[in-house]
Chains A and B, each alone.
Chain A
């Protein structure tokens, strides 16, 4: 400390500061880009496996999955350009290439956070035939019964989602009813004590199905034929 008495004025030139920040930014930029490029393939592969696992759970007969989008212009494979307002869905095929079902995601606010579910839609039955949970942070022991409660999961063996005559709306909106009061095939019998989470599941499916099915059903013939091996 030589100049203790003298006030230190701008000992660092501005150029040095800018040079340092520029150097750091360059090094960091290189690191981030290499990490991104280096992991790209593994991450894509992981995402594909995770998606397949989720879809196979709700459509057990499936052997392969393809991602499509349904929009005002019809159904097309998911690509880089997505038409406005298009809805993403997954078509599941068995080993011979026959369509086994459609899976799509629904999401709604639950008790703690958004509950994201994947449901299977069977075009032949015009019904929802399976339910899987993508992510949720509901109360352990209460809200997370949507994974395990057999009576609740029974709702999704044949949940009626047929469209009305002009194929614009669901003939009957999906409704979550109080535990033990289910009467119609489009109603979901809530889990006693976990009504909020049950309602989130119902709302997520209802909103997703009401958007997807009017776009999908008139075009679904394309899915059974447009299969590459």
Chain B
């Protein structure tokens, strides 16, 4: 019974999976709705990433703690209730920390409930693993998501507004590329990042083969 298909992974591997190998934004291309919508500035992207990470880690911890209690027939309902709970908690927390951030993120905070990364992690990982690996894996995924959002947000803010975290980077002569903070800019920047990541991945493969043949 319960023979793992893969050998157990180290804590570091659990943590790093989401940041690099299975990065939710650049590799798995999950959760694109908040990714494209709130990544108009580095600050928005960063806040959204942190909020999602909080929900991800807290939900995965609870799902993992309850993994022997939850009958599989009611698991989806259970996970969704847990996720919705932590989204509500984070919603109140953000309002208490900064109303400006709350208004900038708008409905996308509530929409974390339906972010497929979170239900995906609960179902595919947390429900089958003890709390520590579940939390580490969720933390890695959250960090990967934050990193992805930040990579988009920073590029879009620099090109679209000439600023980073609200600080002007260029002189008054800089003409902002307004398209970058509009929806098409989101697709352009995301596409460019995906291109870079895929090129790196392809490059790594060919590089490996090169050494193998040598």
Contacts and interface: CB of A to CB of B under 8 A. Distances in A.
A47 B71 contact: no
Given A21-B74, A35-B88, A139-B182, 6 more contacts: A20-B69, A20-B78, A21-B78, A25-B81, A47-B99, A140-B178
A25 B70 CA distance: 13
B93 A35 contact: yes
Interface residues of A, number: 26
Given A24-B66, A32-B88, A140-B161, A43 B95 contact: yes
In this complex, the interface size class of chain B, counting residues with CB under 8 Å from chain A, is 20 to 34
A39 B62 CA distance: 22
Contacts of A16: 71
Interface of B: 1, 62, 66, 69-74, 77-78, 81-82, 84-86, 88-89, 92-93, 95-100, 103, 160-161, 176, 178, 181-182
B contact patch SS: helix
Contacts of A31: 85-86, 89
A contact patch SS: helix
Nearest to A42: B96
B158 to A, nearest CB: 14
A1 B72 CA distance: 16
Interface of A: 1, 12, 16-17, 20-21, 23-25, 27-28, 31-32, 35-36, 38-39, 42-43, 46-47, 50, 135, 139-141
Contacts of B160: 140
Nearest to B77: A21
